[in-house]
Homo-oligomer: A and B are copies of this chain.
Amino acid sequence: MEFRYPNGKIYKPQEVIKTPYLKKKTYSNRGMTLEEDLNETNVYYLEQKIAVIHKKPTPVQIVSVDYPKRSAAVIKEAYFKQASTTDYNGIYRGRYIDFEAKETRNKTSFPLQNFHQHQINHMNAILQQDGICFVILRFTTLDEIYFLDAKHLLTFWNRQFADGRKSITKLEIETYGHQLAIGYHPRIDYIKVIDQVYF
């Protein structure tokens, strides 16, 4: 069963993946969402002591909770809240890492409506604090994934208010970003790009 946010986006529950190795043997990458691939990548980084990066929980406003006797509290009414930050953050070799991951079914451009002003402001604040901040963009139908530094995203974001263009062309992403290979273990080795670009 699918749950949807007020904006129509599908809600993906976060799961603690305890047996990524066993699980990996039983399926191919087909059908995996970007979030699932990144969660597995982050589990790999954590287990290999490469980096400590987590997805933040989905923000929820809780309105009503029941306390049945002898069992866990049940949230009976709650609402999804818009996140004020990006979804992923953590640490790699002492540096602060912060990113957002988004998918599109488009083939030639990435719509900026995948981001909202709060997130853009957050990324800007992170860059000002000298953090490593970026987005991971997946073209689902092409099965291509790109790493784009937030400073470039900010440029394209601001451009829309100048010339009205509400997307980043794929050529721009290829030019300013870095394509990420889709692997097996880890699935999306974005730390490799961080090593090349920031260290």
Question: A-side interface residues toward B, CB under 8 Å?
Answer: 3-6, 11, 13-14, 16, 46, 49, 51-52, 54, 56-62, 65, 67, 72-81, 83-85, 89-98, 122, 125-126, 128-131
Contact = CB atoms under 8 A, between A and B. Distances in A.
- What 8 A-B pairs come out closest when comparing CB atoms? A94-B130, A91-B96, A75-B78, A57-B59, A96-B96, A3-B65, A57-B57, A91-B129
B93 A94 contact: no
Given A128-B49, A131-B91, A131-B94, A11 B62 contact: yes
Contacts of A73: 3-6, 79-80
Given A16-B84, A72-B79, A98-B91, A57 B56 contact: yes
A72 B78 contact: no
A76 B79 contact: no
A83 B54 CA distance: 11
